[in-house]
Amino acid sequence: MLHAQNVAKSFTLHTQGSVTIPVFQGVDFTLSGGECIALTGESGSGKSTFMRMLYANYTCSDGSIRVFHDGDWLDITTASPHSILEVRKRTMGYVSQFLRVIPRVPTLEIVAEPLVALGAARDHAMDKARDLLTRLRIPERLWQLSPLTFSGGEQQRVNIARGFIADYPIMLLDEPTASLDAQNRATVLALIEEAKGRGAAIAGIFHDHETRDAVCTGSFDVTSFKVGAND
Amino acid sequence: MEQTVNYSADGATAYNFAYLDEQTKRMIRRALLKAVAIPAYQVPFAGREMPMPYGWGTGGVQVTAAVIGPNDTLKVIDQGADDTTNAVSIRQFFAKTANVATTEKTTEASIIQTRHRIPEKELREDQVLVYQVPIPEPLRFLEPRETETRKMHALEEYGLMHVKLYEDIARHGHIATTYAYPVMVDDRYVMDPSPTPKFDNPKMNDMAALQLFGAGREKRIYALPPYTKVKSLDFEDHPFEVQTWKDECGMCGAHDSYLDEVILDDQGNRMFVCSDTDYCTERQEAGHRGPQHHDQPLGNAAREKAAE
Amino acid sequence: MTQISNPLLRVDNLTMMYGDRVGCKDVSFELRPGEVLGIVGESGSGKSTLLRSISAQQEPTKGTVQYNTRIDGVCDVYQMSEAQRRLLMRTDWAFVHQNPRDGLRMNVSAGANIGERLMAIGDRHYGNIRSNADAWLGKVEIASERIDDLPSTFSGGMQQRLQIARNLVTSPRLVFMDEPTGGLDVSVQARLLDLLRGLVHDLNLAVIIVTHDLAVARLLSHRLMVMQQGKVIEHGLTDQVLDDPQHPYTQLLVSSILQN
C-alpha cells in the first residue's frame, strides 16, 4: 500500500545561520494491507519526522514515497498539492497528537467531517461519529461543544474518533494512546484491530511496549538510518 | 432665430432677446440636439448664471430661452398653477426679455415651462414642455460618485434603481416614492423625471410634444423626443401605480386629475382641488361643479373665501 | 480515481509595477473549482496588489489573468469588454473586503444589501428577492428580524457576515477575500472562520484569501503562497509550507508566531 525508497531528510535552519541538520538517509520502508508496523527509535531518531513525511506534511530531501491511491501508485514527494489532498481525503488517514480545529465547531461535527467530505450521507456520518464518541467515552453532554475546551485526554480521543471514522486504506497513528487511561487504551487497541481486520495498512508510533506488542505485526527502527549513526 | 435687440420703455438698450446672448443659446441648442438624439441621456452644458437663484428654475429658464422665438406663446406653471410666485416671475421674465405672448391656457401655449406637473390636457405635436430639474441623476441616491453613475448609465447597470424601490416596499409595504419616480426611456436609459409626481409619469410615455429637461445647478440637459417610450420601473409583484383620490375636485368635480389638499380652517376641514388650475377653470367654465363650488369668482384667494 | 477538473482561474507571469517600484512580479498559478488558496506575507509584500490585479480591479503591467467563464469558456479578464468584466465581477465573482464598509451600502437595509446583486442581474420579483435575502441572513447567522435594519446598526462581525451574504447571493464560483477577519475580535473571528469554511465547502467555492494571520491561512486554505517583496518565494500544500518551510523568509515568518 505504501512504499518508501531511499528516503532522506535534512532540515536547513535559515534563521540560525543556515545550519543544516541531517536526520536520516537511505530509508526503505514498505507497508502492506493488514499490517500494523511500529516505527521505533529513540527520541530524536526522526520517527515522527518520518511519519510526517509519509503523510506529505514534511517534504523529502531525497528518495520517493509511493502510495497506492485509486488503483495506481502515486509518488507523494512529487505529486501536486491537489493529488496529495485527494490522497489524504480518500486513501490515507492520520491521527496526530495535536487537535487543530476551528474554534466553536461542535465536537460531533469535527468527528463526522472526514466522512462527510468523502460524500457520505450526513446522518450516517453523524451516527458513526456518535458511535465512536460513545466507545471512546466522551460524555454526550460534550458533543455539541468545541473540543478546544476539553482536557488533553479528551482532545486526544476526539482526534482518534476523527481519525477512525473513515475506513482509510492506509492509517498513520502518532502516539494514539499517549495520554489515555487503560479503558480508553483498550478501545483504541480494538479500533486498530478492526482496521487491521478490514485490511488497512497501519504505521504507528507507540510510546508503550504493551500497546505495541498487542497490535503490531512488526516494527521498523528509524535509528539505523540516522546520518552518522555508525560514525 | 434672428438676433433681436429689445428696447425698454425708456429707450435704453436692454437685454438680448430672451436674456441670454446668442452664443450661449447656440451652445444650449447644440446640447439640446444631442439630448434629443439620445433620449434621456444627460448632456452636460455650460450653464450660465441667471438673474434668479438656483432652485427657482434656472435650468428650465435657460432651455426655454434657447428655444423660444418671438412668435411663441409661453405658459409657466409651478405645481399645476399659473398664479404662484415662481410661475408668475418666470412668465414676467420672458415677457420682459423676449416680449413674447404669455398665457395660462394649456391649449394656447407653444412652450410650457413646468416645475412639477404635466398639464392634464393632452399635449400636441406643436407644443414643447420644458421641465425645471433640481437633481438630474436618478442613481445619485445610492451612488454619490459621478464617475461611477456615468459608467453605470453607459453599461446599463440599473440594479441600484430597484434597490431604492425595494427599500420603499420594505419600509412602507408599497412603493412609496410619489415623485421623482424613475423611468426607463426607450428601453435604454433610466431617467429621473424629478420632481414630477408619479401621477404624471404615464403622460410622458408616447407624448406628442417634445419634452426638454434643464438642470441649472448641475448643468445637465436631457430630453424626450415626441412619441418616446417611457416606462416606470417596478417589480412584478408590486407593479407601478399612480396615486388615486377618494375625493373629487371640490371646484370642478373632476375625478381624473391630480388633486391638491387644501386645509380650510383650524378645525381640520379641508377640500381637494385640481392642481392644474387651467384644467379646473376650463371645466368650471364648461359648467362642471364640485361639492364646494358656490359659483364664486375663481382664483386661490377666492377659493379660500368660498370655503369659509 | 483522481478528480481532474479544469482550472477555474489561471494567472501567468503577473507583474504590477508602480514606476520603478515592484508591486508584484512574475506570479503564476492555477486555481481549481472549490480550491482555497491562501496568500500570506507581511505588510507591503505585494499580496493586496496581487489580489487587486487578479480580481480585475487594477490592470497589471504585464501578464495575464484567464478565467473559465460559465458561458464563453476561458477568457482573458483584461481583454473582455468593461461591461462583460463588470458583469463577471458582480455575478460569478465576489470580493469580501477587510472593512465591511467598503463592501456594503451603509445607507440601505440589510435585505437590500443582499438583494442588490439579484436586482443587478434582472430579478424583478420583490417577494423572491426578499425571501432570498432572508434565507441568506439565516445562512450567515443573522436574525430574520434584522432584515430591514441598516448595516450601521450591526456589530462589526455582523457587518462582515452581511458582506459575505451580499456577495454570495448570486452563487459565485470565485471569491476574493482581503483580510476578512482583520478588524474583528478573536471570538468573532472564530465564528466567521467557521462560517466561511462551511460555506466554502457547501458551495464548492474557489477562494483566494489574503491574510497575514497564519492561523487563518492554515484553517481555511488548501494551498499557500508566501510573498516577499512582490515575489512568490514559496508555494505549496498549506501544512507543508507551514510545518516544513524551505525558504528563509518563510521560516522566519513561521517562527515569529506567538504560541499559545
Stretches where chain C sits below pLDDT 50 are 1-3, 260
Nearest CB partner across the interface for C194, out of A15, A82, A104? A104
pLDDT tens, residue by residue, A200-212: 999 999 988 888 8
In a domain, B302, yes or no: no
CATH number for the domain running over A33-59+89-225: 3.40.50.300
pLDDT tens, residue by residue, B67-112: 999 999 999 999 889 999 999 999 999 999 999 999 999 999 999 9
Q: Are residues B136 and B216 in the same domain?
A: yes
**Which one has a higher pLDDT value, B231 or C190?**
B231
Task: Enter the pTM of the model.
Answer: 0.86
Q: Do C112 and B167 touch (CB under 8 A)?
A: yes
Q: Do B236 and C82 touch (CB under 8 A)?
A: no
Last residue of a domain, one of B204, B232, B260: B232
In a domain, B52, yes or no: yes
Above 80 in pLDDT, residue B8? no
- List all chains that touch chain C, counting a touch as 3 or more CB pairs closer than 8 Å: A, B
Closest residue of B to C109, CA-based? B167
Query: Quick one: pLDDT band at residue B306, thresholds 50, 70, 90?
Result: low
Residue B302 has what pLDDT? 54
Residue B4 has what pLDDT? 53
Taking the C-alpha atoms of residue C64 and residue B64, their distance in angstroms, rounded to an integer, is 53
Residue B92 has what pLDDT? 94
Residue A230 has what pLDDT? 47
pLDDT tens, residue by residue, A134-180: 999 999 999 999 998 898 889 999 999 999 999 999 999 999 888 88
In a domain, B15, yes or no: no
Closest residue of C to B156, CA-based? C83
Q: Are residues B164 and B249 in the same domain?
A: no
Cα of C6 to nearest chain B Cα, Å: 31
Q: Once rounded to an integer, what is the mean pLDDT over residues A13-26?
A: 88
Last residue of a domain, one of B232, B255, B285: B232
Q: Are residues B156 and B250 in the same domain?
A: no
What string of DSSP letters covers chain B? ----EEE-TT--EEEETTBS-HHHHHHHHHHHHHHHHSTT--EE--PPP-SS-TTSSHHHHHHHHHH--TT-EEEEEBTTBSSSHHHHHHHHHHHHHT--EE-S-GGG-SEEEESS---SSPP-TT-EEEEE-S---TTTTT---HHHHHHHHHTT--HHHHHHHHHHHHHHSS----BS--EEETTTEEE--TTSBGGGHHHHTT-SSEEEEEETTTTEEEEE-TT--EEE--BTTB-------SS--TTT--SSS-EEEEE-STT--EEEEES-HHHHHHHHHTT---TT--S---SHHHHHHHH-
Q: Are residues B220 and B81 in the same domain?
A: yes
- Contact list, B177 vs chain C (CB under 8 Å): none
- Contact list, A59 vs chain C (CB under 8 Å): 240, 244, 246
- Contact list, B151 vs chain C (CB under 8 Å): 82
The fraction of chain B above a pLDDT of 90, given in percent, is 76
Which residues span the domain enclosing B209? 22-232
Above 90 in pLDDT, residue A101? no
Alpha helix (H) ranges present in chain A?
47-54, 81-90, 107-117, 122-135, 152-164, 182-197, 209-215
Tell me which of C57, C102, C126, C166 to substitute to probe the interface with B (most B C-beta atoms closer than 10 Å): C126
Query: Quick one: pLDDT band at residue B142, thresholds 50, 70, 90?
Result: confident
Q: Domain boundaries in chain A?
A: 33-59+89-225
Counted domains in chain B: 2
Residue C251 has what pLDDT? 93
Residue C260 has what pLDDT? 45
Residue C52 has what pLDDT? 94
In a domain, B308, yes or no: no
3-state SS class at B201: helix
In a domain, B9, yes or no: no
**Which one has a higher pLDDT value, A62 or A208?**
A62
Residue B13 has what pLDDT? 58
In a domain, B70, yes or no: yes
Q: Are residues B249 and B224 in the same domain?
A: no
Q: Are residues B200 and B161 in the same domain?
A: yes
CA B8 from chain centre, in angstroms, equals 30
- Residues of C at the A interface, defined by Cβ within 8 angstroms: 1-3, 32, 35, 187, 190-191, 193-194, 197, 201, 218-219, 222-223, 236-237, 239-240, 243-244, 246-248, 251-252, 255
Amino acid at C198: G
Q: Do chains A and B touch (3 or more CB pairs under 8 A)?
A: no
Q: Is A141 on the interface with C (CB under 8 A)?
A: no
Cα of C252 to nearest chain A Cα, Å: 6
Q: Do B157 and C120 touch (CB under 8 A)?
A: yes
